[in-house]
Every structure is written in C-alpha cells, then in structure tokens.
Amino acid sequence: MTTDQPSEYAAARARLLAEPGLGGAARRTALSRLADGWLAGLYAAAGAPSGTALVAVGGYGRGELSPRSDLDVVLLHQGPIDPALPERIWYPVWDGGAALDHSVRTPAEARAVAAEDLKAQLGLLDARHLAGDPALTAALRSDVLADWRATAAKRLPELRQSCLERAERHGELSFLLEPDLKEARGGLRDVVALNAIAASWLADAPRDGLDAAAARLADVRDALHLTTGRATERLALQEQDQVAARLGVLDADILLRQVYESARTIAYAGDVTWRSVERILAARGGRSRRVSRLAFPFTGVGRGSGAVARGAVDRRPLAEGVVEQDGEAVLAQGARPAQDPVLALRAAAAAAQAGLTVGYATVRRLAAEARPLPVPWPDEAREQLITLLGAGESAIPVWEAYEAEGLITRLLPDWERVRCRPQRNAVHRWTVDRHLIETAVKAAAMTRRVARPDLLLVAALLHDIGKGWPGDHSEAGEVIVRDVAGRMGFDKADTETLALLVRHHLTLVDTATRRDPDDPATVDLITKVVGTLPHLELLHALTEADATATGPAAWSSWRASLVRGLAERAAERLAGGSSYPLDAEPTAEEERLAVEAGRTGGPALTLLAQTQQDSFAIEPMGVELTLALPDQPGLLGTVAGVLALHRLTVRSAGLRELDPVGAGPVLLLSWTVAAEFGELPEAARLRADLRRALDGSLDVARKLAERDAAAPRRRGIATPPPVVSVAPGGASSTATVLEVRAHDAPGLLHRIGRALDAAGVRVRTAHVSTLGADAVDAFYVTDPAGRPLTAERAREVASAVQAALG
C-alpha cells in the first residue's frame, strides 16, 4: 500500500483481520507487510530527502505484528533535516489510530542511546529497512550488532538481571491463572532475550520446540487482542473461554495447559542458555568456572563413604557413572545409559544432593539412550528417587530438566495427566504437577518427624495424582498409587501405607477444622483411619506439607494448631509398643559364626555379594556382611569406621547379642552395604582391616580424619538437623531405646558408635536403616551392668550423640 490515507490503511487492516483461515504467523507477517507499505508511502509522501531511512525495530522489525501491536520505527538521517519531516510521517499514523513508538536519530545517536539503554539496543538488534537509503539501515544494523558483540561481557549480565527483575515482578507464566504472556518468566520477552544471546555469538538456546512454543504464545496473544480489542498481554480469567474458542481449543483448561507447556519450554531454554553464558563469561574473566543456579557444594554420598579427594576439580565423582563438571552433574566418560537403567535416577539424585543441576547434554543423552526400568523397579532405583526428593529445594531444577526432556513421564506414566494441569482455585499457587513436587520439597524438611521418610516423600509426590481423573481425586489417587507403588517395588505393607496416605491426605485437616476437637468421637475417627502411630505421624507431616505447598491461604497458625491438637490426642490413644521389628531367630550360618567367635576369641565373618537380575544382566547390588565376635567396647563405631574407609555405604545394619556356648556374650552384626562408586571391596582386604581395627593396629578414626582433611571442602545442601530422642518407656522393657534420625552422610554410623562408646553405654541391639538420603536408626542401650538407663542418664546420652552429629 502506497497511499497516505489513514482510512484506507484501517479498512485494509480490518479486512485482513477478518479474512477466514488467516491466523498465526501468516497473519502477523501480513500485518507487518501491510504496515510496511503504508509507512513507506507516508515516507515518500512526506518528501524525505536522500540520506534518510525509515527503519522498523523491535517486534515490528522482526515482522511479528499482533493485531494491537505498536509500530516501532526510527527515522534515520545523516545530516540536517526539515524539523517538520517527522511530523508529516507520524501524524497520519496517529490519525489512523495506530499505536506508534517513534524516534528520530542519526546513526551515531542511535548507537549512543543503545549503549546506555538496554531496551533500545535490543530493539535495534532487530532493525529492518522500510524505506529510504538501504545502505544507511544496513550500516546501522551492522554497527549495532558489532557493538553488541563487543560489549557482550558487560551487557549480557545486565540483560540477565533485567530478566530476573521482570520475573520477580510478573511471576512465572507456567503457574499463573492470569499470566502476562509477554513479561512473565517463560513469556515472549524471554524469547527476545534468547535471540539477543544468540546474536552475541557467545551461546545459543536449545532450539527443539522453542520456535513452536514462542509461536503458540504469540497466537494466544493475537487471539487475546482480537477478543478484548485492546493491546493487553494479561490473559484474564474472563477472557480465557473466548480466547480458547477463537483458537479452536476445546476449553480454557486446555488453553492454559498449552500456554503453560510453551512457557516451560521457553523458561527451560533460558535456564540452559544462561548457565552457558555464565560459564563462558566466568572463564573469560578468569574466575571459578563453577556456576549453577543452585550452587550448593557437595557433601558426599552415603553414610559409609567419604569425600573423594582428587587433584583436578573439573571432573569430581558424585556417584557411579556421574561426575561434576563446570558446576553441573554430567555423565562420566565410561557411563553407558543403555546398559544401566538406574543411571538417570542416580544422576538426578546425585545432582540434587550436591546442589547442582544435570547438564543439558547429559539430560538429552539420557532421554535418547536410557532404557526403561524393569518392573518392578530395582531397589536402587526406588532409593535414588527417594534421595532425589529428599534433597528439598535443589531437587526442583533437576526435576524441571528431566521433565523438559520427557524423562519424568517415562519414569511415571501417570504423571502425564497432571503435567501442566491448571488448578482454578485462588488458594493454589501452582499447577498440579508443580504442587506435587513442591509438596515433596516441604516434606523433605519434615523427615525427622517420621519413622519412614521414604514413604512420606513418595506420598507427597503422589498425593494429588488422581487429579485429572473423574470423581474424587483422593479415591482415584488411591487406586493409582497402588499400581505405581507396585511398579516401584514397594512391598504389600508399604503399598497399603501409601494408599492410606493418598486416600486420606485431606482427612486430618478436614476433621480438625470441621469437627469438635473435644468430642471423643473425633479422635476415634482419626485413630480408626490411621490404625497405628507411625501412620499418624506420616499423615500429620503430609497434611502440613500439602497445605504449606498449596499457598499462604491454605495454612495458618490457627489451622496448624487445630491439626496438631487433634494429632496429639490421637497419638495419645495410639501410643505404646515399639515400631521396630523383633529380631528373628539366628540362622544356622549365624550360629556357626557365633560359635567360632566364642571358641577362638576373635572375629568370624562372611561376605556375600547380592545381585539383582533383570532381562539384560545380573547387576551387583551390594554386600551382605555378617560378623560375629566377642563383645568389647567401641565395636559398632570401629566396624562402621572400617566400612567408611572402604567407601561402603551402609544401607541397613543390625546388631544383637548371642550366647551360643555359654562362654560370654557374642555380638552378631549383620550389614547390608553398597560400594559408593560401584566397586565392591576385596573380601580378604576388608577382613584384614577389620582384624587390624579390632586389635588396635589400625587407627580408624585417625585415617578417616586424615582423608577428610585432604578432601576439598564443600558446604552441602541445607538439610533438616539431626534428631536424637529417647523412645517412650514402653518401647522396651530391658533396654533404653535411642532413636536417631539424620541426613545420611559419610561416616555417620561411625560417629554415632564412637559417641555411644564415649558415653559408657553398651549397645545391646541396633536397627539401622538408610531410606534414600535419610538415616533412621534405633539403638537399644544399657548401662555396663545391663540395666536400662535412668531417664536423666538417657537424656545425657542422647545429648552426647546429638552433639557428635552437630
């Protein structure tokens, strides 16, 4: 169009917007071309002299005009121009009702403004010639790009900061019921930032799905403009049904889900790209190359392990097949995803526990090469999932990376129904899937309150898995979780516990807030639902985690007090008895070892490697160590220390007394251990070191201290503090039961054993379990004469163990 008549442009624009079948990118291109012709005509009619040019910038420069977009233009000139010239171009635009963002500058002025104004510079990166001298436009574009690349080390951090501030103001598009399609994190403004990074030649965003995601958000924005008749970017609730209908989408929920999926693609691309930029700029500046969005140091993996001392810090082992490099968890050179089905979960757990995310290339490789887990899952797979969830906040970026590449729905097919599912409730601040992982994060801070932190974390992850199915989501979730728990390899009792927690995850808060708390029938209702005190503890923690992860309006001090009061009354009703298993009768092999130890006065032991077979291979799962020896002080801590020296992670342990020959007590220790990096110890060497440690020729504590001193120091992720408590008197009639709940760490059991030995108590029986990243232990202790401790003495011993773990 070459006419300068606003009415003709407006009529042509109206016809274009009403044209059937024209939409999406094609309509945005057509709108841009229409505006191009009109502005070129206005430029010519205004009598613009040589040495001037009309240039489109910003979204218009990219040829992406939405129905209500501004026309962003710059009138370039090399020398003096008639002051009335710009007005002869701008006034017809204003008369036509078009929104105009304009400026008049020389090329030097344009570059100077860009050097001071980041927004102006970003707009000029998309400069496109409209009319006049094309060489003038080309020179400006070339100079602006050269300036951008030359100052990238300064401007990109400034761009990053502006993105963070914008996200703080507008929130995360993926979780907002009324999102700003342009300004929120994951919106169209972030796409512009990613293109600017690419223009700097420093890094480029992952392109798979990025263009389609940006196009989807632009389509929704166009439909929003047409629906409202305004240049709005906020997808308000009252417009969502009409926008969905205009786009041919079934309903507003499906529309929001598509918006959320697109926003997540963009946000994830941003995370990956900005990490690359930060690493490159840090390397150029000679600073540490360790850069991560959640940069917590490594604390070690497994209670029997120690930090790995390595000369080079660029590739530090995290777990079998996983190393840290450049602030990310990546696959080790010898890792084979196609031959190791647990590798993806192991990498995720190791990264989260180290406060890292998993490298983009690693996630892509795992998605492409990793074979499905066998059903039921191997024990290690279940433990690694629990370890991942137990990492708390640092699990979120790992989860997001895996979800972006489809690994989560591959592990948990039922996740697909809740993925990106909106919750049309002002109380909820997250989509269903993000609420589930947020609940697991909250639950990770409560693992010291329950005897089974693994069940708490899995229940938190799955408690709303029934949303998206017809009917009551708690009832649907109970059915789903039975199936999921079976596939994960939980036994029947644990599956029933998970089903109970999912079915009744709202029961405690509903009862506490809607029933008379002083009515005995209210307490009876809860006790009948949970059945046992451990179940009550789990349900109470899950209730609080669910509510606090929902949003501020879902949990208050009043609700918390009501729930806590009801839980305490129910606990009083259910109190009594030990939750730890009774010792089974000794096996023939255990009796043989006890007889040998009693006869010889020295240690007797056996080592048996565990294996688990799937359809491809027999995989080593760990070592069963059974050790019998005459009772002596410091036995538990000494044996645990030897295992720590051999970098063995204690998965479970038991200790009890036997008197097979009447020659004095013999202690029988049964351990299940796993190698930290997949290499099991030589039996002969382990046996020799145990003998040396027991006869005093090997100073285990000194060796561990020397190794720890030589290892690089890392802060570690934030974890709940350890809890050491004295079980109620009914837990045992012959001993005092100390309960220890702590984050699993190198040498943990060694420190506990030494503290108990220093306190002068005898450990008669012990039940030790490592559940994911949490240790849940019980020690039955007596005084030297074999009597239970007094209440005051028990508190002193508990305090001493607490101090040793502090």
Q: Would you say residue 296 has pLDDT above 60?
A: no
The values of phi and psi at residue 64, to 5°, are -120, 65
Q: Would you say residue 455 has pLDDT above 60?
A: yes
Complete DSSP assignment for 525-563: HHHHHH-SHHHHHHHHHHHHHHHHHH-GGG--HHHHHHH
Q: Would you say residue 659 has pLDDT above 80?
A: no
Q: What is the CA radius of gyration of the chain?
A: 33
**Residue 714: burial class (beta carbons within 10 Å; 0-12, 13-18, 19+):** middle
Which helix (H) or strand (E) segment holds residue 658: the answer is strand 648-658
Angle, CA 573 vertex, CA 570 and CA 578 arms, to 5°? 105
The pLDDT, as a whole number, for residue 298 is: 28
Percent with pLDDT over 90 in the chain: 66
The torsion region of residue 326 among left (phi > 0), alpha (psi -120 to 50) and beta comes to left
DSSP state of 88: H
Are 570 and 543 in contact by the 8 Å Cβ rule? The answer is no
The pLDDT, as a whole number, for residue 616 is: 38
The pLDDT, as a whole number, for residue 715 is: 54
Alpha carbon dihedral 756, 762, 764, 766, in 10-degree steps, equals 0
593 CB-side CA count, 13 A: 20
The pLDDT, as a whole number, for residue 412 is: 97
Give residue for tokens 């255990």.
590
What is the rounded CA–CA span in Å between residue 228 and residue 242?
A: 9
Amino acid at 518: D
The pLDDT, as a whole number, for residue 583 is: 63
Complete DSSP assignment for 184-222: SBTSHHHHHHHHHHHHHTS-----TTHHHHHHHHHHHHH
Highest mean pLDDT among 649-658, 661-670, 674-683: 649-658
Q: Would you say residue 803 has pLDDT above 70?
A: yes
Nearest of 445, 457, 443, 526 to residue 498 by alpha carbon: 457
What is the rounded CA–CA span in Å between residue 274 and residue 518?
A: 56
Least confident of 57-61, 272-276, 742-746: 742-746
What is the rounded CA–CA span in Å between residue 731 and residue 728?
A: 6
Give residue for tokens 């070592």.
623
The sign of the CA dihedral 33, 34, 39, 42 is positive
Contacts of 462 (CB under 8 A, 6+ apart): 436, 477, 480, 481, 484, 498, 502
Task: Identify the band that residue 299 occupies on the pLDDT scale cut at 50, 70 and 90.
Answer: very low
pLDDT digit string, tens, across residues 389-427: 999 999 999 999 999 999 999 999 999 999 999 998 778
What is the rounded CA–CA span in Å between residue 128 and residue 72?
A: 11
Q: Would you say residue 64 has pLDDT above 90?
A: yes
Amino acid at 101: D
The separation between CA 114 and the C-alpha centre of its own chain, rounded to angstroms, equals 38
What is the rounded CA–CA span in Å between residue 528 and residue 20?
A: 63
Strands, E assignment, 94-200: 100-105, 128-132
What is the rounded CA–CA span in Å between residue 752 and residue 152?
A: 53
What is the rounded CA–CA span in Å between residue 273 and residue 602?
A: 61
The pLDDT, as a whole number, for residue 304 is: 39
Complete DSSP assignment for 504-525: TTTHHHHHHHHS-TTSHHHHHH
The pLDDT, as a whole number, for residue 308 is: 37
Percent with pLDDT over 70 in the chain: 91
Q: Would you say residue 320 has pLDDT above 70?
A: yes
Report the pLDDT averaged over residues 54-60.
97
pLDDT digit string, tens, across residues 459-472: 999 999 999 899 99
Coil, helix or strand for 774? Answer: strand
Are 505 and 463 in contact by the 8 Å Cβ rule? The answer is yes
Strand order in the sheet with 357-358: 316-319, 322-325, 328-331, 357-358
pLDDT digit string, tens, across residues 688-735: 888 888 888 888 888 888 877 766 666 568 889 999 999 886 667 888
Alpha carbon dihedral 550, 552, 558, 562, in 10-degree steps, equals 10
What is the rounded CA–CA span in Å between residue 209 and residue 501?
A: 38
Highest mean pLDDT among 366-370, 516-520, 574-578, 608-612: 366-370
Are 185 and 179 in contact by the 8 Å Cβ rule? The answer is no
Alpha carbon dihedral 726, 731, 737, 741, in 10-degree steps, equals -60
Q: Tell me the average pLDDT of the chain.
A: 88
Report the pLDDT averaged over residues 306-310.
37
Contacts of 91 (CB under 8 A, 6+ apart): none
Beta 100-105 vs 71-77: how paired, if at all?
Answer: parallel
Which helix (H) or strand (E) segment holds residue 602: the answer is none
Q: Would you say residue 681 has pLDDT above 90?
A: no
Give residue for tokens 């002596």.
632
Report the pLDDT averaged over residues 775-792.
91
Are 605 and 625 in contact by the 8 Å Cβ rule? The answer is yes
pLDDT digit string, tens, across residues 103-139: 999 999 999 999 999 999 999 999 999 999 999 999 9
What is the rounded CA–CA span in Å between residue 186 and residue 217?
A: 10
| Tokens, residue 284 | 């150029």
21 CB-side CA count, 13 A: 0
Crossing angle between the packed helical segments 85-95 and 6-18, to the nearest 10 degrees: 50
The pLDDT, as a whole number, for residue 632 is: 78
Nearest of 345, 351, 396, 350 to residue 371 by alpha carbon: 345
CA dist 604 → 251, 585, 688 (Å): 71, 19, 11
Report the pLDDT averaged over residues 620-634.
76
The separation between CA 136 and the C-alpha centre of its own chain, rounded to angstroms, equals 50
Peptide bond into 520 cis (omega under 30): no
What is the rounded CA–CA span in Å between residue 195 and residue 156?
A: 12
Least confident of 144-153, 159-168, 337-346, 583-592: 583-592
Nearest of 384, 259, 304, 377 to residue 640 by alpha carbon: 304
What is the rounded CA–CA span in Å between residue 417 and residue 409?
A: 10
- Reported residue count of the chain is 806
The values of phi and psi at residue 593, to 5°, are -65, -40
CA dist 517 → 349, 512, 561, 568, 677 (Å): 41, 7, 11, 11, 52
Are 9 and 3 in contact by the 8 Å Cβ rule? The answer is yes
Amino acid at 762: R
What is the rounded CA–CA span in Å between residue 761 and residue 633?
A: 9
What is the rounded CA–CA span in Å between residue 159 and residue 170?
A: 16
Coil, helix or strand for 172? Answer: strand
The pLDDT, as a whole number, for residue 386 is: 97
Angle, CA 414 vertex, CA 454 and CA 349 arms, to 5°? 40
The sign of the CA dihedral 637, 642, 647, 651 is negative
| Tokens, residue 571 | 């606990």
Contacts of 806 (CB under 8 A, 6+ apart): 721, 722
More confident residue, 238 or 644: 238
Are 306 and 677 in contact by the 8 Å Cβ rule? The answer is no
The values of phi and psi at residue 763, to 5°, are -95, 110
pLDDT digit string, tens, across residues 180-227: 999 999 999 999 999 999 999 999 999 999 999 999 999 999 999 999
DSSP state of 682: P
Task: Identify the band that residue 294 occupies on the pLDDT scale cut at 50, 70 and 90.
Answer: very low
Q: Would you say residue 47 has pLDDT above 60?
A: yes
What is the rounded CA–CA span in Å between residue 204 and residue 277?
A: 9
The pLDDT, as a whole number, for residue 238 is: 95
Q: Would you say residue 445 has pLDDT above 60?
A: yes
